[in-house]
Amino acid sequence: MDGMNTPRRRPGRPPQADPQATRERIVAAATGLFARHGFDAVSVRQVADAAGVDVATVHHHTGGKAVLYEACFARVYALEQRALEPVLSSPTDLHRVLDAFLDFLEEWPENTGLWLRRWLDPTRHRGIDERYSMPLYERVERLLAAAGEPHPRVAVRSLIWAVHAHAVRALHGEVPGEERAALREFAHRWVSRMYDAP
């Protein structure tokens, strides 16, 4: 008889979930929680509840809380890299880079929340900046240096802080379209005036 040697699932036992999908669900849930509340205010239990799994599953797929926290930065870094790569890897202008960055922030406001909370506590979680912000920062710094900026690192950080300060509102509700448009207009005007970029 066909199927006689096929292992049968015990009654009532749910099928095993795809490990990669489970991990992604956990990290996505943790990203939102850490972005809104910060590292200390979020427990592994809260992450498990938000992801619809138990605490043991969170530990199995992501390790401890500090490892999970870093996984959230790795996640948003990969998303940001994917968004910016097309405009950084080919000859481009600063306005295209700026639009790609603003588009990314509108789609993923958790990125802003994670970084703002991270920067408020700079002595903890060492290495996160070096791994998940500096590689892209340095590529933009080179573009600014080529445009004549004598202090590209200061320029990048200044504009990013300014943009994040406005973008963080999206974590807590919809930002009016006119406010998003005004921020984009300001950022483009800043780039044009600083670097004579039409």
pLDDT tens track for 69-90: 999 999 999 999 999 999 998 7
Instruction: Give which of 161, 180, 172 is closest to 118, Cα–Cα.
Output: 161
pLDDT-based confidence at residue 198 (cuts at 50, 70, 90): low
- This prediction has a pTM of 0.85
pLDDT-based confidence at residue 104 (cuts at 50, 70, 90): very high
- Checking if the pLDDT of 39 tops 90, the result is yes
**Range ranked top by mean pLDDT from 5-9, 14-18, 31-35, 85-89:** 31-35
Instruction: Give which of 23, 79, 71 is closest to 51, Cα–Cα.
Output: 23
Instruction: Return d(Cα 3, Cα 20) in angstroms, integer.
Output: 29
> 15-51 burial by CB neighbour count: b if 16+ within 10 A, else e?
eeeeeeebbebbbebbbbbbbbebbeebebeebbebb
Burial class (CB in 10 A: 0-12, 13-18, 19+), 105: buried
Q: What is the pLDDT of residue 22?
A: 95
Domain architecture of the chain: domains with CATH: 19-195 (1.10.357.10)
